[in-house]
């Protein structure tokens, strides 16, 4: 699994420097079975949330990115695919 920081370094180092998660325990963003609420709260205040979300949608990342869970991003992808086909 690509870590949040590795991915941001590799492709979008520009927004990593502004991500609030850089100041937060990374484990919070990859909850095994617990709630993702703590990570989502951090993301809500993050200035690069949109860039982060688009990156995660494009790359199929796991964990919380851009204030969304993997399941939520899957739903976004589904809607976009459906809209593009219409
Ligand atoms: S939106 Fe969330 S996961 Fe993305 S850079 Fe900001 S704090 Fe990190």
Q: How far, in Å, from the CA of 53 to the mean position of ligand 1?
A: 8
Question: Mean pLDDT throughout 60-80?
Answer: 96
Atom of ligand 1 nearest to the CA of 42: 7
d(CA 43, CA 31): 15
Total tally of structural domains belonging to the chain: 1
- Helix (H) / strand (E) element for 40: namely helix 37-44
- 4 within a domain of the structure (yes/no): no
Residue 9's pLDDT band (boundaries 50, 70, 90)? low
Give the global pTM. 0.82
Tokens of 60: 């199929």
Domain range for 20: 10-85
Q: Cβ distance 38 to 28 under 8 Å?
A: yes
- 73 within a domain of the structure (yes/no): yes
Q: What is the pLDDT of residue 67?
A: 98
Ligand 1, pocket-test mutation among 15, 51, 53, 65, most atoms within 8 A of CB: 65
Q: How far, in Å, from the CA of 82 to the mean position of ligand 1?
A: 27
- 2 within a domain of the structure (yes/no): no
Q: How far, in Å, from the CA of 60 to the mean position of ligand 1?
A: 15
- 52 within a domain of the structure (yes/no): yes
Question: Mean pLDDT throughout 43-72?
Answer: 95
- 5 within a domain of the structure (yes/no): no
């Amino acid at each position: 699994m690509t870590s949040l920081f590795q991915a941001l370094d590799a492709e979008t180092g520009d927004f990593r420097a502004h991500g609030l998660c850089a100041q937060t325990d990374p484990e919070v963003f990859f909850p095994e079975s617990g709630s993702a609420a703590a990570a989502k709260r951090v993301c809500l205040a993050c200035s690069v949330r949109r860039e982060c979300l688009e990156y995660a949608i494009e790359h199929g990342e796991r964990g919380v990115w851009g204030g969304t869970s993997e399941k939520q991003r899957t739903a976004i992808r589904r809607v976009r695919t459906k809209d593009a086909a219409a």
